Amino acid sequence: MELIYFDHISGTPLHPHVKEAMIKYIKENGFGNPSSQHRLGDMAIETLNNARENVAKLINAKPEEIVFTSGGTESVNHAIKGVAFAKAKKGKHIITSNIEHQSVSRALRVLMRMGYEVTTLPVDSYGMIDPSDVKKAIKDDTILVTVMHANNEIGTIEPIDEIGKITRERGIVFHTDAVASCGNIPIDVNELNVDLLSLSANQFYGPPGVGALYIREKTPIFPLIDGGTQENNQRAGTQNMIGIVGLGKASELARIEMPERMEHLQNLKRYFLSKLNRIDDIVLNGHPEKSLPGLVSFSVEYVEGESMMIMLDEKGICVSTRSACASGSLRASHVLIAIGRDYATAQGTLLFSFGISNTMEQIDRAFVELEETIRFLRNISPLYKKKK
């Protein structure tokens, strides 16, 4: 049975060139500490610089503005807590949205316990935040605004550049969680007007466990991990060299291949949506245009998401669900509730995220199974019977 992987939002497979680069590094050096003064240290520094340059180029930043981290979650925590601690004397008010990833919302929850005040802004039915809401929420003691670039559950791309204009005018630090978008759509930190941006390698065909935080020059921020002087004093500890080699290569490839990748993903998405149109009582989630190219979130009325996901998995098709059951909590996805889905509908949500090696034929095959799965589960569902 051919495995069909439609869950790229949970993690992308390693690009063959990324894999090669990492293996090459392991063979040639692999252990040299970039903080060492001897030649192995120099070799590691060169590798580090090369990777840093590639990450910087991907988002139009300067290499010295890139800090390597253990991934998206660390980057986000560093950005939020680092600014909150550095600016604590100036103010304790932070603005965010109600559809953020847990790494943002839980980091903010900790800060709230420490006496910080957080304003959480709502989104519209597409999951879009209104920049004028940000403007209205700003107070004299606002120190940070953090809004995600693209939502990881529904794909909606937020008006980060407009929010950035507002924060820049008011001299407030602005962070965007670009984990779901970076490497998949063009990002220019200067056009977006952001001071901090979080990214993760395994969202664009790099390895898991490595990411970066972009820190604009002169941004007031404390390190999250204290110790040595690595990463421009922003992230202590010997760097994860092998992972960073992978991130660097993935960034280089993403930059070069981005236009064709996006076109391919958009074609797959369009094709999938045209097929999805044939099934009754499907609700699409997210913005119809301003959305990640390879991601489709849809709710299937009268059935529950986890049962669909397992049934597809049985047939070799890997997708994701935001069903409350699957996440181990009884709660439906906060993002789907935020965009106005009722609980039963939110429970029946599936997330298909395509990648560069997916094909139309795979969509054809998966779709037959999806239709069959929905028919099967609706036949069992008491809610479907009530509808009829």
Contact positions vs another protein (CB under 8 A): 302-304, 306-307, 310-311, 313-314, 323-326, 328-331, 342-344, 347, 379-383, 385
Strand order in the sheet with 211-215: 66-69, 211-215, 196-200, 173-177, 142-146, 93-97, 117-121
Least Å distance, CB 14 to another protein, is: 24
Least Å distance, CB 327 to another protein, is: 9
The tokens for 244 are 């960073």
Q: Where are the alpha helices (DSSP H) in 184-240?
A: 230-233
Cβ neighbours around 254 below 10 Å, total:
26
| DSSP structure string for 318-361 | E-EE--TTTTTSSSPPHHHHHTT--HHHHHTEEEEE--TT--HH
Toward another protein, which CB reaches closer, 177 or 301? 301
**Positive or negative torsion for Cα 99, 102, 106, 108:** negative
State how far Cα 130 lies from the chain centre. Answer: 20
Least Å distance, CB 343 to another protein, is: 4
Least Å distance, CB 280 to another protein, is: 17
Least Å distance, CB 134 to another protein, is: 25
Q: Is 325 a catalytic residue?
A: yes
Instruction: Determine the Cα–Cα distance for residues 366 and 314; give it in Å rounded to an integer.
Output: 12
Element (DSSP H or E) covering residue 261: helix 241-276
Instruction: Determine the Cα–Cα distance for residues 304 and 344; give it in Å rounded to an integer.
Output: 8
**Residues contacting residue 189 through CB under 8 Å, at least 6 positions apart:** 59, 60, 61, 65, 197, 214, 216
Toward another protein, which CB reaches closer, 137 or 344? 344
Toward another protein, which CB reaches closer, 277 or 329? 329
Toward another protein, which CB reaches closer, 259 or 382? 382
Least Å distance, CB 306 to another protein, is: 4
With H, G, I as helix, E, B as strand and everything else as coil, classify residue 222. coil
Toward another protein, which CB reaches closer, 232 or 379? 379
Toward another protein, which CB reaches closer, 11 or 30? 11
Least Å distance, CB 380 to another protein, is: 5
β-strand pairing of 211-215 with 196-200: antiparallel
Toward another protein, which CB reaches closer, 237 or 343? 343
Given 45, 138, 284, 325, the catalytic residue: 325
Contact 178, 104 (CB under 8 A): no
* Active site residues per annotation: 325
